[in-house]
Amino acid sequence: MFLVKTIKTKNLNFASDSGSISFQVCESMSSPVPSSLESSGSRLAEFLGEDVIKDKGLCCRFVIANVPRDAPVTERAIPLAIFQSEQSIRNHYLRKWLHLSTVDNLDIREILDWNYYIDRFNSCIQKIITIPAALQNIRNPVPRVSHPDWLHKRLVEK
């Protein structure tokens, strides 16, 4: 199986996002820039078939890939279900979605957008630890995670 030599499915779930979406939302996607959830839902419908998910709430678990490099984050959402599909199906859709010529020996760790996940993690650290500390005039307890620019302005105004 694809994940055995790379990342176990349960570990991949730690890096994934999830949400529920109706197929009608995926189908219509009226916004010019769909969310990562909408992109993932559309891709799930693309390889599972519309009849499988029609008129149901759809739970999408997805990861953010680092390719195509010039694409926005929302267009780099890859549904986790693709990694559990038959190899030929998986390879077809990963080539299509990632714009890669070959995906035969692809290690998922190489396509995860680690910078995206580091930024998300840093954002959580800011919200839970560093921003509340700064607002209480406590030195940053996690110096590796810098304060957001707006916080510096707010502290100067105080």
Query: Which band of pLDDT confidence, cut at 50, 70 and 90, is reported for residue 2?
Result: very low
Per the listing, tokens 């959580």 go with: 124
- Whole-model pTM: value is 0.78
Poorest-pLDDT segment among 34-43, 50-59, 89-98, 132-141: 50-59
With beta carbons less than 8 A apart as the criterion, state whether 38 and 73 touch: no
46 pLDDT more than 80: yes
With beta carbons less than 8 A apart as the criterion, state whether 118 and 146 touch: no
10 pLDDT more than 70: no
Q: Do strands 57-64 and 17-22 pair parallel, antiparallel, or not at all (unpaired)?
A: antiparallel
Instruction: Render pLDDT for 69-128 as a digit per residue (tens, 0 to 9).
Output: 999 999 999 999 898 889 889 999 999 999 988 887 788 888 899 999 999 999 999 999
Report how far residue 128's alpha carbon sits from residue 151's, in angstroms, rounded to the nearest whole number: 14
pLDDT for the residue numbered 64: 94
Per the listing, tokens 């590796």 go with: 144
15 pLDDT more than 90: no
Query: Which band of pLDDT confidence, cut at 50, 70 and 90, is reported for residue 52?
Result: low
With beta carbons less than 8 A apart as the criterion, state whether 19 and 58 touch: no
Query: Which band of pLDDT confidence, cut at 50, 70 and 90, is reported for residue 5?
Result: very low
Secondary structure element (H or E) that encloses residue 55, with its range = none
H and E: helices and strands count for the chain: 9, 3
Q: What is the mean pLDDT of residues 9-24?
A: 70
With beta carbons less than 8 A apart as the criterion, state whether 86 and 38 touch: no
Length of the chain in residues, anyone? 158
